[in-house]
Amino acid sequence: MNGFFNILKPPGMTSSQVVGFMRRLTGENRVGHAGTLDPEAAGVLPIMAGRAARLFDYLVDKEKSYVAECAFGCRTDTQDAQGTVIATGTDYPSLDRVRAAAGQLTGDILQRPGMYSAIKKDGKPMYLRARQGETVEVPERLVHVERLEILAEMPDHGFMMQVDCGRGTYIRSICEDLGHLCGCPAHMRFLLRTRSGFFTIRDAITLEEASAAARENRLDSYAVPVDAPLQHLRAVHVPESFARLAANGAALPVQMFAGQNVKDAEILRVYLGNAFLGLAGRDGEWIRWKVLFPQND
């Protein structure tokens, strides 16, 4: 089974556990996820099955959207509600004050994720170092926040917010930064990812729905075609006379794509008729394959 599954990950389950669940359902060993979600977070988790896993590096996963709740009154060592409280305060901010602070956290900003993050140092995730009692300062890094809108004030000094951001942005760190800017410690109380690149929560399916479909032998009806998340790449078409060469993974001459204006180093979606053959890129006067999908697979 080759394709993507847009899974609505439930809270209390790791992204790796979802991968294992889908591996059992599909019977496919080659299963992975495109973008980790924290165990207590819920939302869109794209799952890649079969040869779709080879397309990970070509997905547009830089644009992500979240709905989150920032809670004021305490800061935790994990920056979320599951951690140990390390600071408290009672100077609770107003809605206007939080919205003013949010305006300082948009665009390209420097962010310092907490120790309990998946960022690696010397090949070891920071959260493993934290659990083993190590204390290592995580360096600041540049991230992009396209939109940070405070939607509503919630009970117990919470504020619901919408975040549209780039890859590598930690919503937990945004909540903690809001606390610093407002003069009252804060942490992330709730997180829901509503979009990960091509995949949106509107089209996501639950694990229960996937299980029911597998029992009825219709799981493939939920599979997203391998080329669907690649629409940001330009499509070119192989002439029928070169079909055998293309199917065998041979390099193809650029002049064969005359009139299709193929640029140097451009990554392309390649088709033979309506059949998706894979991804290729121009290398001088040749088109060389990056990922090839055998047509009898």
Give the residue numbers annotated as catalytic, written as ranges. Answer: 38
Q: How far is CA 201 from CA 16, 53, 192, 297, in A?
A: 19, 21, 9, 30
Only one residue has tokens 């991230």, namely 143
The rounded distance, in Å, linking the Cα atoms of 218 and 196 is 25
Coil, strand or helix at 97: helix
Count of all residues that appear for the chain in the document = 297
Q: Supply 148's token pair.
A: 């940070």
Both tokens of 15, joined, read 């992204």
CA-to-CA distance for 238 and 245, rounded, in angstroms?
10
What are the phi and psi torsion angles at 117 (to 5°)? -135, 170
The separation between CA 125 and the C-alpha centre of its own chain, rounded to angstroms, equals 18
Residue 49 has which token pair?
């099955």
Tokens standing for 185? Answer: 């410690």
The string over 66-95, giving b where at least 16 C-beta atoms fall within 10 Å of a residue's C-beta and e elsewhere, is: bbbbbbbbbbbbbbbbebeeeeeeeeebee
Lookup: tokens for 53: 């896993």
Structure tokens at 252: 């193809």
Neighbouring C-beta atoms of residue 210, cutoff 10 Å: 21
